[in-house]
Amino acid sequence: MSTHHTSSRPTLPVAGEDHARLTVDLSALADNWRAMARRSGAARTAAVLKADAYGIGLEPAAKTFHHAGARDFFVATPAEGVALRGVLPDVRIYVLSGMWAGSERLFFEFDLVPVIVSEEQLVVFMAAIADGGDLPCVLHVDTGMSRLGLRVEDALALADDTSRPASFSPLMLLSHLACADDPGHPLNRQQLQRFRSVVSAFDDIDATLANSAGIFLGEDYHFTLTRPGIALYGGAAVNDVPNPMKPVVTAEARILQVRDAKAGESVSYGASTVFTRDTRIAVAALGYADGYMRSLSGSGVPLRKANIPGASGVLHGRTVPLIGRVTMDLTHFDVTDLPAGSVRAGDFIEVFGRHMPIQDVALAGGTIDYELLTSLGRRYERRYEAVKK
């Protein structure tokens, strides 16, 4: 396995500045896409690349998915679509936020497919193609999310509208599941039934409903295209079940200092952690400026009502608890129970990744793994482990 240092982000640490580092396993990324493609059965499988590919880097992620077999890609904004087109010239790129007045040129120039999310956007799109412009679109139907999309009744009316321009012929219908991470939630079946009613009203049209969690709901939800996101990046798509996806991202921070504190002394802001024993502290070069959120401090943060113990890290194969409050640039870990002298300045502690599941860290911070990944700061040295030949 080879390692190369590249990123789609414009700002990188200089050589030797690796106070924190991210290792992205591109083989695991490819394997996760293939696993979701197998679960999708007869449906084509897209890849979602929103937010700089969930924080790991658009270019390496896009190339990895394409090499694995993906030909359909979803982004959030036209700007993301333009960036992706520069990486992959011959794929289908869908823009989930749709088309609004003033953005039309980008869709035509860079061959982007707008996902029309409202009646207002439908008007803009109709005007854009009125002069013979050749541009496909996807129609977003709200089946229960109450976020984006035409209401079911409006989509059905559009299907029956014989006065609509002949040039308007959406290539696909899209909806989004609100509760797919809870397989037993009744809204899943309700949304499925509503979506089916719209799909049946349009003649011979592709359809996409299943996100990562929706793929796990089974064949009924797959239609002709699935669009996995978080599962590709190693995140947990379904609640309260073991995560079958391979970890993709490992975040580590350099230990800047190892110091001793006496029983009765405290650590970090607010003196929220007072030691009940003599304690050895490892001070790591990582904080909320790097996306390692203050809430990971657990109930030591004011206003947190739940008795959450906070996150942990892995150092020399042992789990060590976070202590005190996470600060902008520094986080503290209790390494008292590790052998004396085994932890030294310059060592690296894993804060999530291969040995510390990202979903467990997110839970400790009262959030989800999506937020941890998409909040990654720019100070990490990024390392991409190439796909195994």
Q: What is the pLDDT of residues 58-113, one digit of tens each?
A: 999 999 999 999 999 999 999 999 999 999 999 999 999 999 999 999 999 999 99
**pLDDT of amino acid 133:** 76
328 is known to lie in a ligand binding site? yes
305 catalytic per annotation? no
The letter for the amino acid at 224 is: T
Q: Provide the b/e sequence for 289-320 (b: ≥16 CB within 10 Å).
A: ebbbbbbbbbebbeeeeeebebbbbbbeeeeb
User: Tokens at residue 52, please?
Assistant: 């700089």
What is the Cα–Cα distance from 91 to 101, expressed in whole angstroms? 25
Q: Is pLDDT at 378 greater than 50 in this prediction?
A: yes
**β-bridge partners, 206:** 172
Catalytic residue among 221, 269, 370, 389: 269
User: Tokens at residue 237, please?
Assistant: 């798509």
pTM of the model: 0.91
pLDDT band at 138 (very low <50, low <70, confident <90, very high): very high
CB atoms within 10 A of CB 51: 19
Catalytic residue among 50, 54, 233, 288: 50
pLDDT band at 163 (very low <50, low <70, confident <90, very high): confident
The answer to whether the beta carbons of residues 173 and 141 sit under 8 Å apart is yes
Q: Provide the b/e sequence for 169-207 (b: ≥16 CB within 10 Å).
A: ebebbbbbbbbbbebeeeebeebbebbeebbebbeebbb
Percentage, residues of the chain above pLDDT 70: 92
Q: What share of the chain is helix, strand, coil (3-state, %, to 5)?
A: 30, 20, 45
Q: Give the model confidence (pLDDT) of 34-48 as tens digits.
A: 999 999 999 999 999
Q: What is the mean pLDDT of residues 302-318?
A: 74
Looking at per-residue confidence, does 89 or 389 come out higher?
89
What is the Cα–Cα distance from 252 to 18, expressed in whole angstroms? 10
50 catalytic per annotation? yes
147 is known to lie in a ligand binding site? yes
pLDDT band at 303 (very low <50, low <70, confident <90, very high): very low
User: Tokens at residue 240, please?
Assistant: 């309260």
**pLDDT of amino acid 124:** 94
Q: Is pLDDT at 360 greater than 60 in this prediction?
A: yes
CB atoms within 10 A of CB 120: 12
Backbone φ/ψ region at 341: left (φ over 0), alpha (ψ -120 to 50), beta: left
Residue whose C-alpha is closest to residue 195's, from 172, 165, 166, 168: 172
